[in-house]
Amino acid sequence: MSTTTPNGFNLDNAGKRVVVDPITRIEGHLRIEVNVDDKNVIRNAVSTGTMWRGLETILKGRDPRDAWAFTQRICGVCTGVHALASVRCVEDALGIKIPENANTIRNIMSLALYVQDHLVHFYHLHALDWVDVVSGLKADPKATSDLAQTVSPSWPKSSVGYFRDLQNRLKKFVESGQLGPFRNGYWGHPAYKLPPEANLMATAHYLEALDFQKEIVKIQTIFGGKNPHPNWLVGGVPCPINLNDTGGIGAINMERLNLVSSIVDQSLAFIEQVYIPDLVAVAGFYKDWAAIGGGLAGKSFLSYGEFPQFANDQSNKSLLLPRGAIIDGKLTEVLDVDLKAPDQIQEFVTHSWYSYSDETKGLHPFDGVTEPKFALGPNTKGDRKKLEAIDENAKYSWVKSPRWKGHAMEVGPLARFVVAYMSGRQDVKDLVDSTLKTLDVPITALFSTLGRTAARGLEALWSAKQLKAFNDKLIASIKAGDTATANTEKWDPKSWPKAAQGAGFMEAPRGALGHWIKIEDTKIANYQAVVPTTWNASPRDAAGKIGAYEASLLDTPMANPEQPLEILRTIHSFDPCLACAAHVIGPDDREVTKVTVK
């Protein structure tokens, strides 16, 4: 049957159904089903989040100062983003102002995550969609070395011997018959376009990036004590600064600052000399993917903005990446976004495994309701013990459908960069324009699978530079005599009002993240998170508008539907995080008692 959605996409579920479950190389559990026509072009797409953890239900009645630790466990990949959104929503609710250094340190921790998370995504979650590891065995090490020295003249690991040793290691590995994570991959698939030398170089960098990513996160360890899941604090940051006095060895001191500076420099070098050259080199072979996988890109983007330059100023004057929304493809009109306006952000559950009293309407997070209600539609193939094909006309996902003023939105690095570009931010414009020029593609090339992947790489570079800037700012602040890292005026719950509510945002690496809290009698009365993957992976809403994943897969030609490489490419370009996406709020006691506990 063929239909046109209210947001302008044609769906036709007549053709052969292809199921990909599990989607691997993501965080959490995601199922994608598509229908392909007789030419193997995708004509219908269904995105199903297949996990639910109920964290916000668990938060009810707890100390708001503890919420960051709970919500941080929503995601261990983009670790820290929920913690930061959480401390910000509590601070917003209670009117707590944080010291300048605390804002700087939070930015440093978040930017370090951006760099590490984007790097890991490109090499370890996404690269195998473009890089045929096995093909690299056929490469000529000398030609690989020449290629490496051409794309990145100053990166030292580029000798003939280096690539020969690696190739030998891979050969034996493959010949052993134990392929580990490369087992059953799509090696030799016709959609792989890189020559053997580029495959070998990229595989070398896959391993180098695996070694290096663990260095970047040490920045979070220095300030937060561990990674994943460093420590945060309502009112500031927990690490004190002490350069000259007794006991400085146990605080942020000169040795610690030097360690941060050293990692910052190494990170910038790795991004500039490995990640970006690889991205450009790989993209050059896949320019056709600049016209595939667009979906909502170019039509509707949302960004909450991030990296306040000044503590306690979350306006666009302070935010290095601005807040804003673009709808209906009107790129030059960036609209204001207000997390607290009841008519802006709303969540629908028409096609999600929850029930509302009126499912034709969406609810703002402050007033969110969640009652889990798992049921498969009448046209389901298989059953709950062995699901073969889902019925998308019924409820079909643990992910809700958030909408901004009724619009399905795409979030993520591309959304952030387009909002920044269209808001006239020169640093972002320069970065984007120069890359488009290098690749010789128009700006519309951004609205694609390749565009998302490229935007993430450019943002990693931008982040590494900002990381250096904020590190310099911290040192300058200390030099000027400011060593404060926490404001404890309202630490004691006795100083809080009887009731308060607040919203906290964070642009996570994957996109716009919001937390909303209601505090009553010093305890959490209500808590809700609307996260990036909820936006992107959302099922259809009450009006039938489809979300970013579903829209992006439409019209994609597949070489062989049995080997769904093309689906993986586009879905991975969003960097899905399903543990984040499937969450729930409990505004009242009913839902808990309705969950069957055996």
Partner 1 sequence: MARVETFYELLRRQGVSRRSFTKFCSLTAASLGLAPALAPKVAHAMETKPRIPVLWLHGLECTCCSESFIRSAHPLVKDVVLSMISLDYDDTIMAAAGHQAEKCLEDIRTEYKGKYLLCVEGNPPIGKDGEYCIVGGRPFVDQLTDMAKDAMAVVSWGSCASWGCVQAAKPNPTHAVPVHEIVKDKPVIKVPGCPPIAEVMTGVVSYIVTFDRLPELDRQGRPKMFYSQRIHDKCYRRPHFDAGQFVEAWDDENARKGYCLYKMGCRGPTTYNACSVTRWNEGVSFPIQSGHGCIGCSENDFWDNGPFYERLTNISVFGAEANADQWAARVGVGVGVGVAAHAAVSAAVRMTDKERHKSPPMPKGGHE
Q: Which of positions 193-212 make contact with partner 1 (CB under 8 A)?
A: 207, 210-211
Minimum gap (Å) between residue 505 Cβ and partner 1:
20
Among 135, 584, 585, 587, binds partner 1 (CB under 8 A): 584
Minimum gap (Å) between residue 18 Cβ and partner 1:
9
Which residues inside 221-240 make contact with partner 1, applying CB under 8 A? 221-231, 233, 235-236, 238-240
579: contact with partner 1 by CB under 8 A: yes
Cis peptide before 228 (omega within 30 of 0): yes
Cβ distance to partner 1 smaller for residue 115 or 419? 115
Cβ distance to partner 1 smaller for residue 382 or 424? 382
459 C-beta neighbours (distance < 10 Å), count: 24
124: contact with partner 1 by CB under 8 A: yes
Cβ distance to partner 1 smaller for residue 26 or 420? 26
Q: Would you give the distance in Å from CA 521 to the centre of its chain?
A: 35
User: Closest Cα partner for 581 from 91, 65, 47?
Assistant: 47
Cβ distance to partner 1 smaller for residue 214 or 330? 214
Among 5, 9, 11, 29, binds partner 1 (CB under 8 A): 29
The piece of 193-201, 213-221, 324-332, 525-533 that touches partner 1 (CB under 8 A) is 213-221
Give the separation between CA 416 and CA 411, rounded to whole angstroms.
Answer: 7
Cβ distance to partner 1 smaller for residue 50 or 401? 50
Minimum gap (Å) between residue 593 Cβ and partner 1:
9
Minimum gap (Å) between residue 448 Cβ and partner 1:
21
**Amino acid letter at 315?**
S
Give the separation between CA 347 and CA 414, rounded to whole angstroms.
Answer: 23
500 C-beta neighbours (distance < 10 Å), count: 18
Give the separation between CA 367 and CA 560, rounded to whole angstroms.
Answer: 46
Q: Interface mask (CB under 8 A) for partner 1, residues 126-165, using x and -?
A: --x----x-------------------------------x
58: contact with partner 1 by CB under 8 A: yes
Residue listed under structure tokens 């404060």: 484
Cβ distance to partner 1 smaller for residue 175 or 440? 175
249: contact with partner 1 by CB under 8 A: yes
**Residue 548 is inside which H or E element, if any?**
helix 548-553
Give the separation between CA 544 and CA 540, rounded to whole angstroms.
Answer: 5
Minimum gap (Å) between residue 522 Cβ and partner 1:
10
Residue-wise over 68-79: b if at least 16 C-beta within 10 A, else e? bebbbbbbebbb
Which residues inside 376-395 make contact with partner 1, applying CB under 8 A? 382, 384-388
231 C-beta neighbours (distance < 10 Å), count: 17
597: contact with partner 1 by CB under 8 A: yes
The piece of 272-280, 321-329, 481-489, 506-514 that touches partner 1 (CB under 8 A) is 481-489
Among 5, 7, 52, 275, binds partner 1 (CB under 8 A): 52
Cβ distance to partner 1 smaller for residue 363 or 390? 390
The answer to whether the beta carbons of residues 56 and 528 sit under 8 Å apart is: yes
Which residues inside 76-105 make contact with partner 1, applying CB under 8 A? 76-77, 79
Give the separation between CA 71 and CA 80, rounded to whole angstroms.
Answer: 9
The piece of 181-189, 282-290, 469-477, 495-503 that touches partner 1 (CB under 8 A) is 181-189
Q: Which residues, 6 or more positions from 494, have their beta carbon under 8 angstroms from its beta carbon?
A: none
Render 218-233 in DSSP notation, one character per residue.
Answer: HHHHHHHSSSSS---B
Among 46, 83, 109, 241, binds partner 1 (CB under 8 A): 241
* Cα–Cα distance list, 491 to 96, 234, 307, 495, 524 (Å): 9, 8, 24, 8, 15
Size of the site for partner 1 (CB under 8 A): 115
Q: Which residues, 6 or more positions from 584, have their beta carbon under 8 angstroms from its beta carbon?
A: 52, 54, 55, 56, 57, 354, 370, 372, 591
The piece of 57-65, 264-272, 441-449, 527-535 that touches partner 1 (CB under 8 A) is 57-65
User: Closest Cα partner for 533 from 126, 74, 217, 88?
Assistant: 74
The answer to whether the beta carbons of residues 73 and 229 sit under 8 Å apart is: yes
Minimum gap (Å) between residue 519 Cβ and partner 1:
14
Which residues inside 487-526 make contact with partner 1, applying CB under 8 A? 488, 491
217: contact with partner 1 by CB under 8 A: yes
Cβ distance to partner 1 smaller for residue 242 or 477? 242
Reported in sequence order, the residue ranges of 375-432 that DSSP labels E, i.e. its strands, are 381-383, 386-389, 401-404
**Amino acid letter at 372?**
P
Which residues inside 559-578 make contact with partner 1, applying CB under 8 A? 562-564, 568
The piece of 317-325, 331-339, 459-467, 590-598 that touches partner 1 (CB under 8 A) is 590-598
Q: Interface mask (CB under 8 A) for partner 1, residues 536-555, using x and -?
A: --------------------
Among 6, 40, 54, 316, binds partner 1 (CB under 8 A): 54
Cβ distance to partner 1 smaller for residue 143 or 174? 174
Residue listed under structure tokens 């199921």: 19
Minimum gap (Å) between residue 419 Cβ and partner 1:
28
Strand order across the beta sheet in which 42-49 lies:
16-20, 30-36, 42-49
Which residues inside 390-419 make contact with partner 1, applying CB under 8 A? 398
Angle between helices 276-285 and 141-151 (to 10 degrees): 110
**Amino acid letter at 90?**
V
**Residue 143 is inside which H or E element, if any?**
helix 141-151
25: contact with partner 1 by CB under 8 A: yes
Cβ distance to partner 1 smaller for residue 24 or 434? 24
